[in-house]
Amino acid sequence: MESGAGIARVDLDGRPIRPLTICMIGAGGFIGSHLCEKLMAETPHKVLALDVYSDKIKHLLEPSTLPCPWAGRIQFHRLNIKHDSRLEGLIKMSDLTINLAAICTPADYNTRPLDTIYSNFIDALPVVKYCSENGKRLIHFSTCEVYGKTIGSFLPRDHPLRQDPKYYVLKEDESPCIFGSIEKQRWSYACAKQLIERLIYAEGAENGLEFTIVRPFNWIGPRMDFIPGIDGPNEGVPRVLACFSNALLRHQPLKLVDGGQSQRTFVYIKDAIEAVLLMIENPARANGHIFNVGNPNNEVTVRQLAEMMTQVYAKVSGEAALEEPTVDVSSKEFYGEGYDDSDKRIPDMTIINRQLGWDPKTSLWDLLESTLTYQHRTYAEAIKQTLSKPIASS
């Protein structure tokens, strides 16, 4: 499947894969940067990379003195899809649009619910409209949060059916989407994402839009999120893995919200990007489908994740762990009023396995080792310098 000269690339059904022009919205983010790397290194496809920032893909954009396989195949367009008249033209120029743009940080769902709803629903509407009107295929990135709470979470804590997979494994074509009350603004993100999914599905049913919806389950790896005060705002609260990384880099205890009892699964970004490439190159198998992309084998509680990350970071950094590596905080204290959470997020993998033959490979320990090695190498020195700066007196 490599893109070397003279090697014919074929899809899962043995058909030749023709080079595509891909309009990638949010190409400068965590997922976008890894997907751009994959497309440049292993395929002949061209990418129109749309984003406000390009830091995470600058190594692909800067001219190199060495010959590189992607010369001329990636173009960066600095734009915000909210208010840019160039968007429809770029979608028209492409065979496929991939929309990765979103506000997807839980700390924002409570404190910036309007921005969250606008970003994930209103701002995505023109993308869907332009794809539908111009007969262009769309791969839209949603979230596993659209499932909300599991059916099992409404049973008494000691009820035996809580252990029955029928009550907690999340299936794209069967599981209901169960959210908390309107006062729990944490669900603003999931609700906006579910509504744009329903709109895309309706465009497919009524107007023939060719679409694929991706529901990521905690994709983890280098370049994820930001480290507050280094490449993000000082007051920023990234997602759980980057929060824990930040604490480890600063030799601070890892904060466990409500005891860290929520259960999550984690998948390595490079495994997940393999799944996306299969969707891109196998439209006959991917169109009209919603895909869970996660790793049910990497299931842990958030507390167990903190314990593993503490061990892995001690190994990669050579620094001893704190005597008290974790501290419990309430969700109200950490996220503010109106926070709510889902108990378990375990993806069913039947559909993606049947349609695309995809299975994740990387264990949780290995993906944490890869990610924390990158975090330590990239940020440890910068954080030491910020910690050693004298505090200005008022």
Measured torsion, CA atoms of residues 231, 234, 240, 241, in degrees rounded to the nearest 10: 30
Q: Is 313 known to be catalytic?
A: no
Measured torsion, CA atoms of residues 224, 230, 234, 236, in degrees rounded to the nearest 10: 0
Do residues 220 and 265 touch, judged by C-beta distance below 8 A? no
CB-based contacts of 158, cutoff 8 Å, min separation 6: none
Placement of tokens 């920023």 in the chain = 236
* Whole-angstrom distance, CA of residue 263 vs CA of residue 98: 29
Evaluated on CA atoms 53, 57, 58, 60, the torsion sign reads negative
* Whole-angstrom distance, CA of residue 197 vs CA of residue 190: 10
Question: Which letter does DSSP use for residue 10 in this model?
Answer: B
CA 151 and chain centroid, separation: 24
Kindly name the residue from 109, 147, 168, 189 that is annotated as catalytic: 189
Report residue 1 as tokens.
């499947």
DSSP line for 151-164: GGGGS-TT-GGGGS
Distances from the Cα of 217 to the Cαs of 53, 91, 147, 210, 255, in angstroms?
24, 27, 11, 23, 22
Report residue 97 as tokens.
């649009």
* Whole-angstrom distance, CA of residue 31 vs CA of residue 142: 13
- Of 305, 298, 344, whose CA–CA distance to 325 is shortest? 305
Placement of tokens 């975090």 in the chain = 375
- Of 269, 274, 268, whose CA–CA distance to 352 is shortest? 274
Give me the helix-helix angle, 364-388 and 240-249, nearest 10°.
Answer: 50
- Residues annotated catalytic, as ranges: 189
